[in-house]
Structure 1
Amino acid sequence: MSFDFGAFNNWGSLRKVAIRDVDQAFVNDAKIDAEWKDLNFHSRPDLANARSEYRIVEDILAATGAEVIKLPAAPGLTLDSIYTHDALIVTPNGLVKPRMGKPQRRKESEVNGGALESLGFPIAGEITGEGKVEGGDLVWIDRYTLMAGVGYRTNLEGLRQLGELAGPDVEILWFDMPHYKGRSDVFHLMSCLSPLDHDLAVVYPPLMAARQIEFLESRGIKFVEVPAEEFDTMGCNVLALGPRHAMMVEGNPETERRMKAAGVKVEVIKGYDICRKGEGGPTCMTRPLVRA
């Protein structure tokens, strides 16, 4: 059954967004101590500072007027569950529960999907078997066009299943992702592509496929390019709160300057403990469900 999730894009004004806050994801110091190394965090998150940083994120989301849905804690979830974007996919036929490429995260899609189903959101299905998909590898260009990255977190079998669940009128255009830092790294399509409006995106071209760049250009999309020195500091991990209104991580002044020069209103968060240590920025921490 079809369900109105609003516009299918990654830049429209947020109307409903799902998050999992620090208290539900990080829980306590003992959990942080037990998990951060195994999950490939760069260093141990500080719980008190993470809470302080996350409150700012919540304030920014609330100021947009969007309904902010808080997802629950659950047994089997890890620190990574703060990065809600990856664990659910929104399609015209309902939510799809993906099979995450990172094994430690595979419980998340069931928990998140179940929580939203209880609130009335329809579930279109789930990715099973050898299929792998993560939300960070998907960008809606328009209602009928879904761009996908194929790499260590998302594979062709996962996209085949996703196509069946999304419906025959959705075309999935996939592009190979580079090896870059290898299997253990958090590297998605949205690591180097963040839409800001229907005709504007933040990009890091050195890690994008040539035909991907040509496709975006063919759709009239202009680029705000992230300089090399700001890629590792998450200059490209930018969340559109609405057209030309975005949230980004502190420490990327040139990317911020270029965005503002393109007419973008920029909200800057610190993100030291909630973003950089786990390599999950504003996009990763939010699962937009409905955009205008």
Structure 2
Amino acid sequence: MKTTWQSDTGKIERIIVKTAVAAFQNEQTIGQQWAALNYPSAPDFTIAKRESEAFIALLQSLGIEVLTMPANEPLTLDSIYVRDTAIVCDNGVILCNMGKPARGDEPAAMRRALEQWNIPVCGAICGAGRIEGGDVAWVDERTLAVARGYRTNDEGIRQLRALLGDCIDELIVVPLPHFRGPSDVFHLMSIFSPVDKDLALVFSKLMPIPFREALLGRGIELIEVAEEEYDTLGCNALAVAPRVLVMSEGNPKTKARLEAAGVTVHEYRGNEISVKGEGGPTCLTRPLRRSLSR
């Protein structure tokens, strides 16, 4: 077996999460923040706590070491979506610079946690550069896809390319459509979730044609998310191993399409921690080391 940080489909060995208790804190905090953060309604704290605990238990049952973010950081509800704060490569972690202003303090909190865990930080996006981890996905070990949208700008992409250095052979820039505008949560992983080295879950209706063609040109088979399941996070699925996914309940058509392609799907209940904040299992986690079969 080979281990790498440069994969979104290898078997996850170690992952970072933040519990609902740590992110949401209490009902009062939820009441103060949910509307300003563009949530459609306030998450129920008691149910969110239960969903979060079950989600973490599911990851652990799949043999994954789970690192949990500290609870003492005064951040927003959005801090539960830890993927957005960091990008990983074989040199270590690259900290993001958030495109959503309310989330600006999250990368510093991630840095402090990484220092406690002795996980190396090899760089950070700074200044005018903006990038969020949900806009970044490994196509293969040497190819990284990065969306250019409202959360990630050209300067952020330029800095990321420089920080990655010889870790990559190719960086594919994926221009995102306007869709629902700057206030919406719309990342690359809203329309593209790698499942295996030759399989991906996609929502082609919002996918730029050159990127879709690039995936097909690499021999990657595309499974289409059912259109009516896009808003219930049907396209946001976490590969915990090749052709083994974790996804939110409520997407039966997409699940059936995945299973027909030989994919094992593990579901979790995520109405409060995922659907209301528009962040599925990829958003809730920052995978670190993965193992690959040679």
- With the shorter chain as reference, the TM-score category is over 0.9
Kept after mapping to 2: 8 A contact 1:5/1:289: no
2:116 to 108, 118, 125: 118
Kept after mapping to 2: 8 A contact 1:192/1:237: yes
Aligned residues: 289
- CA distance in 2 between counterparts of 1:61 and 1:97 reads 24
CA-to-aligned-CA distance 1:197-216 (integer Å, 9 cap, x gap)? 11111100010010101100
Aligned: 1:284 with 2:286: no
1:9 to 4, 7, 10: 7
Paired residues for 1:14-25 under 5 Å: 14-25=12-23
Kept after mapping to 1: 8 A contact 2:54/2:268: yes
- CA distance in 2 between counterparts of 1:74 and 1:130 reads 28
Runs of 4+ in 1 over 3 A off after TM superposition: none
Structure 2 residue identity aligned to 1:192: I
Paired residues for 1:1-292 under 5 Å: 6-170=4-168, 171-292=170-291
CA drift at 1:118: 2.2
Kept after mapping to 1: 8 A contact 2:73/2:109: no
Tell me, what secondary structure is at the counterpart of 2:4? coil
Q: Which consecutive residues of structure 2, in runs of 5 or more, have no partner in the other structure? A: none
Tell me, what secondary structure is at the counterpart of 2:182? coil
Structure 2 residue identity aligned to 1:246: L
- CA distance in 1 between counterparts of 2:17 and 2:81 reads 8
- CA distance in 1 between counterparts of 2:159 and 2:62 reads 34
- CA distance in 2 between counterparts of 1:288 and 1:156 reads 25
- CA distance in 1 between counterparts of 2:167 and 2:79 reads 31
Kept after mapping to 1: 8 A contact 2:5/2:88: no
**Distance 1:60-1:75 versus aligned 2 partners, 3 A rule:** closer
CA-to-aligned-CA distance 1:214-244 (integer Å, 9 cap, x gap)? 1001111101101211111111010111111
**TM-score, normalised with respect to structure 1:** 0.96
CA drift at 1:5: 6.5
CA drift at 1:116: 1.1
CA drift at 1:7: 4.7
- CA distance in 1 between counterparts of 2:129 and 2:202 reads 27
What percent of counterpart residues are identical?
Answer: 45
CA drift at 1:144: 1.7
Q: What is the root-mean-square deviation in Å for CA atoms of aligned residues?
A: 1.2
Kept after mapping to 2: 8 A contact 1:234/1:249: yes
CA drift at 1:168: 3.2
CA-to-aligned-CA distance 1:72-109 (integer Å, 9 cap, x gap)? 12444110010011111102221111100001111111
Structure 2 residue identity aligned to 1:25: A
Kept after mapping to 2: 8 A contact 1:93/1:167: no
Kept after mapping to 2: 8 A contact 1:194/1:238: yes
Tell me, what secondary structure is at the counterpart of 1:267? strand
- CA distance in 2 between counterparts of 1:23 and 1:5 reads 32
Structure 1 residue identity aligned to 2:91: N
Kept after mapping to 1: 8 A contact 2:90/2:167: no
- CA distance in 1 between counterparts of 2:164 and 2:111 reads 16
Tell me, what secondary structure is at the counterpart of 1:274? helix
Tell me, what secondary structure is at the counterpart of 2:114? helix
- CA distance in 1 between counterparts of 2:99 and 2:197 reads 29
Tell me, what secondary structure is at the counterpart of 2:201? strand
Tell me, what secondary structure is at the counterpart of 2:289? strand
Q: Which consecutive residues of structure 1, in runs of 5 or more, have no partner in the other structure? A: none
Structure 2 residue identity aligned to 1:83: Y
Tell me, what secondary structure is at the counterpart of 2:16? strand
**Distance 1:269-1:169 versus aligned 2 partners, 3 A rule:** closer
